[in-house]
């Protein structure tokens, strides 16, 4: 007796897998969009806090700040255009950021050079991030 898989059994398994894949793709797509949005928020908050901490510590005796450069969140020392040091994080195309201009933080107290009112929008969610004049952060 020969053992094996018939062509009909193979087609049946492929059909079932295709149906399950088609049924779950909207959920996976939404998950990816939500994950991109959440990661962008976390990276922005992390970059702002890191710039504040570096400024307050007087790291390398330089000015530290954050900006949006070519679709990237940039943590920098010096200036945004010509940084002496920078860390950049890609912002996914599904997420748009407005209100993040070049902002530096003061030594000792970590106060921003200007109040930030940042909006992060995607098809999934919208978040407003405010950094007040004292350097405090509020997320709505």
Q: With respect to residue 2, please indicate whether it lies within any of the assigned structural domains.
A: no
Structural domain of residue 62, as residue ranges? 7-139
Spell out the per-residue pLDDT of the chain, length 140, in tens: 778 889 999 999 999 999 998 898 888 989 999 999 999 999 999 999 999 999 999 999 999 999 999 889 999 999 999 999 999 999 999 999 999 999 999 998 999 999 999 999 998 899 999 999 999 999 99
Number of compact structural domains in the chain: 1
- What's the pLDDT score for residue 48? 97
Q: With respect to residue 28, please indicate whether it lies within any of the assigned structural domains.
A: yes
Q: With respect to residue 117, please indicate whether it lies within any of the assigned structural domains.
A: yes
The angle subtended at Cα 138 by Cα 133 and Cα 140, nearest 5°, is 140
**136: exposed, middle or buried (C-beta count within 10 Å: 0-12, 13-18, 19+)?**
exposed
- What's the pLDDT score for residue 100? 95
CB < 8 Å & 24+ apart, contacts of 115-120: 116/48, 118/44, 120/37, 120/40, 120/41, 120/44, 120/95, 120/96
- What's the pLDDT score for residue 3? 80
- What's the pLDDT score for residue 34? 93
């Amino acid at each position: 007796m020969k053992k094996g898989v018939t062509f009909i059994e193979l087609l049946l398994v492929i059909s079932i897998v295709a149906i399950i894949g088609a049924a779950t793709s909207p959920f996976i797509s939404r998950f990816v969009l939500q994950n991109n949005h959440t990661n962008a928020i976390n990276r922005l908050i992390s970059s702002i806090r890191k710039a504040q901490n570096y400024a307050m510590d007087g790291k390398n005796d330089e000015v530290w700040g954050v900006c949006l450069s070519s679709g990237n969140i940039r943590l920098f020392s010096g200036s945004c255009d010509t940084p002496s040091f920078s860390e950049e994080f890609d912002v996914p195309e599904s997420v748009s950021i407005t209100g993040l201009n070049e902002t530096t933080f003061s030594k000792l107290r970590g106060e921003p050079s200007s109040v930030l009112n940042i909006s992060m929008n995607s098809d999934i969610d919208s978040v407003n991030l405010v950094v007040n004049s004292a350097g405090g952060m509020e997320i709505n």
